[in-house]
Amino acid sequence: MRMIIANKDHNDAYNLRHVTNLYIGSDGRSVKCSAGSTTRGGILGKYGSYDETRKALDILLDRIDKGGNVIYMPDDSEVADGMKSKQAYHHITGKKTKGHGGS
């Protein structure tokens, strides 16, 4: 089965069979890929912060794991929704709730 990754802007795509590396760029705000035996590759998506970029890469890897013919980079709203689920719950008073266990 052939899997294609479409970039965030939906104007470029890569055959996953030829992608050798998926990574966060040195700017900390872009997900990039390299393809083939050369240094050929491109930007799959740019995001607002390192944490958002890391979440976008996590979402992409999860989509690759689940399979499908075409995998799209997550848009900003999907990343924001994914980041909300990771935030700690705070009580109405503003204090962080205590966890269980530990010393």
Report pLDDT for 47: 95
Query: Which run of H or of E encompasses 84?
Result: helix 76-84
Measured between alpha carbons, how far is 74 from 45 in angstroms, rounded to an integer? Answer: 8
The pTM of the whole model exceeds 0.85: no
The mean pLDDT value for 15-24 works out to 90
- Quick: pLDDT tens for 61-101: 999 998 888 989 999 888 988 887 655 555 566 565 565 55
Q: Is pLDDT of 50 > 80?
A: yes
Domain residue limits, the chain:
4-75
**What is the rounded CA–CA span in Å between residue 103 and residue 92?**
25
Structure tokens at 4: 């294609």
**pLDDT value at position 81?**
86
Phi, psi of 37 (to 5 degrees): -85, -10
The pLDDT value recorded for residue 2 is: 78
